[in-house]
Structure 1
Amino acid sequence: MDKDLIEEQQLVCEEFDSSYNAVKETDLVAIAVHTLNKEPVVGLRKALDPQDNVAWYIYGGELEEGDDFFEIITVKELFEVFPDALPYLALAEGYRFMIDSDDYEDVWKAE
C-alpha cells in the first residue's frame, strides 16, 4: 500500500469515528464486479468470515442472493477493478459506504 492511500484511509476513519484497521494487498474482498455499472455502489464490512477470509462485500445497485453474486479478489486486484473503494477499506467492522459517479458519499456504522 502506498503512503498516500494509507493517509487517505486514516483520514476517512478519523472523519467517521472509526478505528483504523490496516489493510494488506493480500487481504480478500468479495465484489460483485458485474454490478459495478449500477449505482450506488455499496460496501459493507462484516466480521471476518473464517471460511473464506473475507470481511468486505462490495456491489452496485441492489444486493442479490446467490452463490455466484460475489467473486473473491485481493485488495491488490481491487486497485484495477474498482479503486474508488480503497479509501474505505480501513474502516472498522460494521461500517458501510455508499458512493456514486456524481461524488455522492455516505459512510455510517450499522447498528
Structure 2
Amino acid sequence: MVLSELQIAMCEKHDAEYKPCMLSEIAGVAIDTVGLQPIQGVRLEGVKGETGWYLWAGDYSDTDDFFKPVHLEHIDKFFPEVKSYLGLGAGYKFIIDDEGYEDVWYEGCS
C-alpha cells in the first residue's frame, strides 16, 4: 500500500479529515529519544514549510533543544513507525509502542 493510502486509512479509522504533509516539510523530532518507548506525536497548526508535527519517544521534555527540525523525507531514520499517522490534522495526538499499543485522539489546538 502506498504511504498516502496508509495515511488516508488511518484518518478514516479515526473519522479524521486527511491533511497530508509534504516530504519537503519540517517536523520537530526529539532525535535523542530514538529507541525509547512509547512513541508520541502531536500536530499543531503548521506554518509555511512546517508540518506542525512534534514527535518524541519516552518522556517529554520542555528544554529548548528537545526538538530538532527534520525534513519528513528523513523520518525513516528516526521514527518510521509514525508515517501512517502524519495525515491526521492539527489537534490530533497519538501514542504507540512496539507491543502494538495505539491511542489516537483529537484534542484541538490551543
- Structure 1 residue corresponding to 2:99, chosen from 99, 102, 111: 102
Task: Show the 5 A alignment for 1:70-85.
Answer: 70-85=67-82
2:3 pairs with 1:5: yes
- Cα distance in 2, alignment partners of residues 54 and 89 from structure 1: 9
Select which of 26, 46, 49 maps to 1:48.
46
**What amino acid sits opposite 1:88 in the alignment?**
Y
Where in structure 1 are there 5+ consecutive unaligned residues?
none
User: What aligned pairs does 1:17-36 form with structure 2 within 5 A after superposition?
Assistant: 17-36=15-34
TM-score (ref. length: structure 2): 0.90
**Whole-Å Cα distance in 1 between the matches of residues 53 and 47 of structure 2?**
10
Q: Shift in Å at residue 83 of structure 1?
A: 0.9
5+ residue gaps, structure 2, are none
Once superposed, what is the RMSD of the aligned Cα atoms? 1.6
Alignment length, in residue pairs? 108
Q: Structure 1-normalised TM-score?
A: 0.89
The SS at the match of 1:12 is helix
Asked if residue 60 in structure 1 is aligned to residue 61 in structure 2, the reply is: no
Segments of 4+ in structure 1 off by > 2 A?
A: none
